[in-house]
Amino acid sequence: MPPPDPQRLSLNTATVRKQWQLAQIIEGCARHGIRGISPWRDQVAEMGLKQARSSIRSNDLTVPSLCRGGFFTAKNWLDDNRRAIEEAHALGAQCLVLVVGGLLEGSKDLSLSRNRINEGIATILPEARKAGIPLAIEPLHPMQAAERACINTLEQALDICDQLGAGIGVAVDVYHVWWDPKLETQIKRAGKQRILAYHICDWLVPTRDLLNDRGMMGDGVIDLPRIRGWVEGAGYAGFHEAEIFSELDWWRRDPDEVLRTIKDRHQRAS
């Protein structure tokens, strides 16, 4: 694979959330020539929606996605997702990422929780369509099934998309799906229309924590160029979003160093 277009790099703001507030992250992206930024809603709220929007625009950054809607198994899911759609619209986000939520509180019933999630997505989809915000279901790694998302494979996510029609697709995060024996076929099946986001990082060996021990591209075992080949082969031409939750390493470093490393690794190891 030839190296990717550097203009396709974007930053998920969680990657430096321990060091910088959103205003600093926006400035950091502009300073380092990273053209896309995907903010988390708590950071947007902290900065103020209007100010975030205005700063992102004045720095000429694109917002590939807003993180996140979802958590359909929690209370208040409907109001929360409506607000998420509004915020995505206000920020000019290209999609709203859905982390769909884990098991219903106190329940071991995966099937029931999954039905609730499917119903929740179906409920908010018309509002998302009206706002012009595509919904991106992000299948999470099976190790996060209990607590964060009962949608755990691309195949499962695409089955839901098949049922719901237009305005919905998937976020392909290599960390969650790299292991899947059906990854290549499901990326093909998703196709250009339904791959709404592509997230990169790496799987460390050993992995010391189930949530916050992601690696920098090139530091782990994921064959990133191969997966990018599949995604681009399916027609995806959007951003490559670096999203690295790293309690033990990257969250402890100088954020300018983190951004420099991401740019370098995007070119050399993604």
Is 178 a binding residue for its own copies by CB under 8 A? The answer is: yes
Q: Which residues contact 107 (CB under 8 A, 6 or more apart)?
A: 113
Question: What is the x/- site pattern for its own copies, positions 209-238, by CB under 8 A?
Answer: -x---------xxxx---------------
HEC per residue, 150-207: CCCCHHHHHHHHHHHCCCEEEEEEHHHHCCCCCHHHHHHHHHHHHEEEEEECECCCCC
Q: Which of 158, 229, 163, 159 lies closest to 195 in space, CA to CA?
A: 158
Q: Which residues contact 253 (CB under 8 A, 6 or more apart)?
A: 19
Is 147 a binding residue for its own copies by CB under 8 A? The answer is: yes
* DSSP code for 266: H
CB of 204 to its own copies, least distance (A): 9
Of 17-25, 85-93, 177-185, 190-198, the window that binds its own copies (rule: CB under 8 A) is 177-185
* Total of chain residues touching its own copies, rule CB under 8 A: 29
Is 146 a binding residue for its own copies by CB under 8 A? The answer is: yes
Is 46 a binding residue for its own copies by CB under 8 A? The answer is: no
Q: Which residues contact 235 (CB under 8 A, 6 or more apart)?
A: 191, 192, 195
Q: Which is nearer to its own copies, 2 or 181 (CB)?
A: 181
**Which member of 89, 145, 167, 192 binds its own copies (CB under 8 A)?**
145
- Contacts with its own copies in 110-129 (CB under 8 A)? 110, 114
- Residues at the site binding its own copies, with contacts judged by CB under 8 A: 103, 108-110, 114, 141-143, 145-147, 150, 152-153, 155-156, 178-181, 203, 205-207, 210, 220-223
